[in-house]
């Protein structure tokens, strides 16, 4: 398996990270029980799943572009965490309307900051996928 294909597969791990982060954020901010159901958006023509996937694309591209040149495991993990943070910030942008209608940029950053522990928890499955795929890539080489 080529290095770029491996990195592409690892970048797809950002989708479950974003999904889990949104579910944890909604339960935390909304003071409700944890659910794996995405919140509905106010626009009737929007689809929460599609919005979540589109929101992770910039983070996936960032991870793919930066990680192709990395050989160090620590830098790879750092790049994934950076891309995961970008994905979480974009999810805050998209799903903040679930908690109210008007959000400024600073309030979005505060929302991300308050939910940082949930981001760390959401990154765990993505990092496990990242390291698992990396191990398979090294064994096949």
**Least confidently predicted of 17-21, 37-41, 110-114:** 37-41
CA-based nearest residue to 38, from 51, 54, 28: 51
For the stretch 62-88, pLDDT in tens is: 999 999 888 889 999 999 999 999 999
Return the pLDDT at 105: 85
Q: What pTM does this model have?
A: 0.90
- Residue 34 φ then ψ, to 5°: -70, 135
For the stretch 34-60, pLDDT in tens is: 777 777 776 777 788 888 888 899 999
What does R_g of the chain's alpha carbons equal in angstroms? 16
């Amino acid at each position: 398996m080529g290095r770029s294909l491996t990195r592409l597969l690892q970048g797809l791990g950002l989708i479950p990270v974003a999904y889990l982060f949104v579910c944890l954020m909604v339960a935390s901010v909304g003071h409700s029980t944890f659910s794996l159901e995405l919140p509905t958006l106010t626009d009737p023509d929007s689809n929460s799943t599609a919005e979540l996937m589109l929101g992770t694309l910039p983070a996936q591209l960032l991870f793919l572009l930066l990680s192709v040149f990395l050989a160090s495991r620590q830098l790879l993990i750092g790049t994934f965490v950076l891309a995961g943070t970008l994905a979480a910030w974009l999810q805050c942008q998209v799903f903040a309307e679930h908690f109210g209608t008007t959000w400024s940029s600073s309030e979005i950053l505060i929302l991300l900051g308050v939910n940082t522990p949930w981001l760390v928890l959401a990154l765990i499955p993505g990092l496990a996928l990242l390291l698992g795929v990396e191990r398979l890539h090294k064994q096949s080489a």
